[in-house]
A = this chain, B = another copy of it.
Amino acid sequence: MAINDRANSSPTITDVARVAGVSIKTVSRVMNRETGVHSSTREHVLKVVGEMKYRPKLSARSLAGARSFLIGLLYYDPSAAFVSGVQQGATLRCRESGYHLVVESLRDDAPDLAQQVDHMVSALRPDGMILTPPLCDNPHVLKALRDSGTPCVLMSPAREREGIPSVRMDDVLAAEEITLHLVDLGHKEIAFVKGPADQAASALRYKGYVRAMKSRGLTVNKDFVYTGDFKFQSGVEAAHKILGTRNRPTAIFASNDEMALGVLAGAQSIGLDVPKALSIAGFDDSPAAKLVWPQLTTVSQPTYEMARMAVEMLIGTGKSQEDAPEESIESEHRVLEHELVIRMSTGKPAKR
A contacts, CB < 8 Å to B: 7, 9-10, 53, 55-60, 62-63, 68-69, 73, 75, 78, 80-81, 83-84, 87-88, 91-92, 95, 98, 100-105, 107, 116, 119-120, 122-125, 232, 236, 258, 261-262, 264-266, 268-269, 286-288, 290-293, 321-322
* A177 and B329 alpha carbons, distance in the complex (Å): 57
**A278 to B: closest C-beta gap in Å:** 15
Chain B residue at minimum C-beta to C-beta distance from A101: B103
B68, A88: Cβ atoms closer than 8 Å? no
Q: List 6 A-B contacts (CB under 8 A).
A: A80-B80, A80-B84, A83-B84, A87-B103, A268-B293, A288-B291
**A24 to B: closest C-beta gap in Å:** 16
* A262 and B294 alpha carbons, distance in the complex (Å): 11
In the bound complex, residues from chain B placing their C-beta under 8 Å from that of A105 are 87-88, 91-92
* A171 and B95 alpha carbons, distance in the complex (Å): 35
Chain B residue at minimum C-beta to C-beta distance from A61: B59
A266, B293: Cβ atoms closer than 8 Å? yes
Chain B residue at minimum C-beta to C-beta distance from A324: B8
**A289 to B: closest C-beta gap in Å:** 9
Query: Do most interface residues of chain A lie in helix, strand or loop, or is the interface mixed?
Result: helix
B80, A9: Cβ atoms closer than 8 Å? no
In the bound complex, residues from chain B placing their C-beta under 8 Å from that of A98 are 123
Chain B residue at minimum C-beta to C-beta distance from A7: B322
* A85 and B73 alpha carbons, distance in the complex (Å): 16
B57, A125: Cβ atoms closer than 8 Å? yes
A75, B87: Cβ atoms closer than 8 Å? yes
Q: Within the complex, which residue of B56, B123, B261, B322 is in contact with A123, where a contact is CB–CB below 8 Å?
A: B56
B293, A265: Cβ atoms closer than 8 Å? yes
**A147 to B: closest C-beta gap in Å:** 10
Chain B residue at minimum C-beta to C-beta distance from A56: B123
